[in-house]
Structure 1
Amino acid sequence: MSALPGTTGRRRIYLMRHGHVDYFGKEIQAAGGDTKVVPLTPLGQEQAKAGGVALSHVRFDRAVCSGVPRTFQTATHVLASQPEELRPALEVEPDLVEIHGGGFIEAKSRAELAAQMAYHFEVAGEPGATMLKGGEVFADAERRAIEAVKRLLAEPGWHTVLIAAHEGINRLILGWAALGAKGSGLKAVQAFEQDPACINVIDFDMVPRGDGAVGTEIQRAIVKAVNVTPYNYVKHGMNMTSLEAIFARDPR
């Protein structure tokens, strides 16, 4: 089993959120509000490149994104800082796409919209709670995201992977990694802020399956770092949450 140097069965996931996007841009308007089409803004590209510089010394065995433009571009910018001969091919995992929202929230301004969205993740742990009215059930999104990570961890031949995903999905994965069998990770997602192009580091200790079957299973997860932003390590001036900043036109 491939493992991090100095360990017997530990694997590491560098889990990133995509860089800054404009959810009110012309691409979304042309697509009728479909957020899957939104690309990185120039600021988002610079944020992703900063992440690439910070991770340039890390040798990724594999690289995965959710497949939408903003995560594909983020991962591509990060991998561009890797030596070309060591750069892994970028894979797509559709189950890591962002939590599906319902229709647009009716609001008269960005400020009103931000106020409605500001505490939305706090309801994730409630039975049947959805991402906005008519959106995906948080528990369903958690299930698909975790299964995607588990599938990746079950595959041999790697010990370090880059995943470029989304704020909501990252929160779900972090909540699960932090609590595991000790409680519902959905109740923890509200605490895991995810700034644009941030980096999280999660280690997983893998052991042979307890039922004697071929393969491994997760013994424990270790959260090593959360919401690290290489373009502003100490968060100076980043006083808004990610959602507040998006709807307030704050170019963070």
Structure 2
Amino acid sequence: MSALPGTTGRRRIYLMRHGHVDYFGREIQAAGGDTKVVPLTPLGQEQARAGGSALAHVRFDRAVCSGVPRTIGTANFVLDAQVPEDRPALEVAPDLVEIHGGKLTRATTRAELAAEMTFYFEQAHVPGATMMEGGEVFAEAERRALAAIRKLLAEPGWHTMLIAAHEGINRLILGWCAMGAGESGLQAVRAFEQDPACINVIDFDMVPKADGSLGTEIERTIIKAVNVTPYNYVKHGMNMTSLEAIFAKDPR
């Protein structure tokens, strides 16, 4: 198994959220509200490029995204800053796609939309809680996202990976890591902000399986950095929450 230099079994994932998108744009309207089709806005492209500049010195063994335009675009902007001969092919892990949402039922303004979304995240730990009315159950989204992460960690031949995913999925992964990767992290989901094109850095200490079977398992998770935004490191002027910014007319 490959490991970070100076370690015996440590792997690192640079976990990004995609850059800014317009959930009220013509692409979504033309697709009948299907958010999977939405691309990065010019602002989102700028944010992703800033992430690429910040990570230009990091050599990625592998690069993964959820397979929708906004994560494909974000990952490619980051990879564009890599040395061409070291650039890995971009892979797709469909189980890292965003939590499937239902209907927002009570909101009539952008502020109310943000407040309602916040409410659903705060209830994520409640048994059977869904992402909006009729949406995916948070616990089920957590299971599929963590299964994808565990699968990647079980695969040999790498120690540094880029993953471009989504706010909700990233929150689920970070919550689980905060709990030591030993139990559900849904109780912690509300605590994690994920601004557009932010970077999280997570290390995983991998050891041989305790039962003696072939392969490795996670011994320890180490959250090295959370919600780092290279286009604005100190968050000056970023006074809205990440959910409020989704529905704001001017996300800057």
Q: Deviations over 1:132-189 (max 9, x none)?
A: 0000000000000000000000000000000000000000000001103665300001
Match of 1:15 in 2: 15
Answer whether contact 1:43 1:251 (CA < 8 A) is retained. Answer: no
- 5+ unaligned residues in a row in structure 2: which ranges? none
Q: Deviations over 1:200-233 (max 9, x none)?
A: 0000000011111111110010000000000000
Instruction: Please give the alpha-carbon distance, in whole angstroms, between the structure 1 residues aligned to 2:188 and 2:108.
Output: 31
1:82 Cα shift? 0.0
Answer whether contact 2:20 2:41 (CA < 8 A) is retained. Answer: yes
Give me the TM-score of the superposition, normalised by structure 1: 0.97
Answer whether contact 1:53 1:78 (CA < 8 A) is retained. Answer: yes
Instruction: Please give the alpha-carbon distance, in whole angstroms, between the structure 1 residues aligned to 2:209 and 2:239.
Output: 45
Match of 1:211 in 2: 211
Match of 2:114 in 1: 114
Instruction: Please give the alpha-carbon distance, in whole angstroms, between the structure 2 residues aligned to 1:247 and 1:72.
Output: 22
Aligned length in residues: 252
Instruction: Please give the alpha-carbon distance, in whole angstroms, between the structure 2 residues aligned to 1:117 and 1:82.
Output: 36
Instruction: Please give the alpha-carbon distance, in whole angstroms, between the structure 2 residues aligned to 1:183 and 1:152.
Output: 18
Q: CA RMSD in A?
A: 1.1
Q: Which moved more, 1:178-187 or 1:198-207?
A: 178-187
User: Is residue 2:174 matched to residue 1:168?
Assistant: no
Match of 2:6 in 1: 6
Q: Taking every aligned residue pair, what percent have the same amino acid on both sides? A: 80
> What secondary structure does 1:204 align onto?
strand
Q: Deviations over 1:55-113 (max 9, x none)?
A: 00000000000000000000000000001100000000000000000135453322222
Match of 1:28 in 2: 28
Q: Which moved more, 1:24-33 or 1:175-184?
A: 175-184
Match of 1:223 in 2: 223
Give me the TM-score of the superposition, normalised by structure 2: 0.97
1:243 Cα shift? 1.1
Answer whether contact 2:19 2:70 (CA < 8 A) is retained. Answer: yes
Answer whether contact 2:129 2:138 (CA < 8 A) is retained. Answer: yes
Instruction: Please give the alpha-carbon distance, in whole angstroms, between the structure 1 residues aligned to 2:115 and 2:68.
Output: 27
1:1-252 to 2 correspondence within 5 Å?
A: 1-105=1-105, 107-180=107-180, 184-252=184-252
Answer whether contact 2:65 2:71 (CA < 8 A) is retained. Answer: yes
Q: Which moved more, 1:67-76 or 1:105-114?
A: 105-114
Return the letter of the residue paired with 2:149: V
1:10 Cα shift? 0.1
Instruction: Please give the alpha-carbon distance, in whole angstroms, between the structure 1 residues aligned to 2:184 and 2:144.
Output: 15
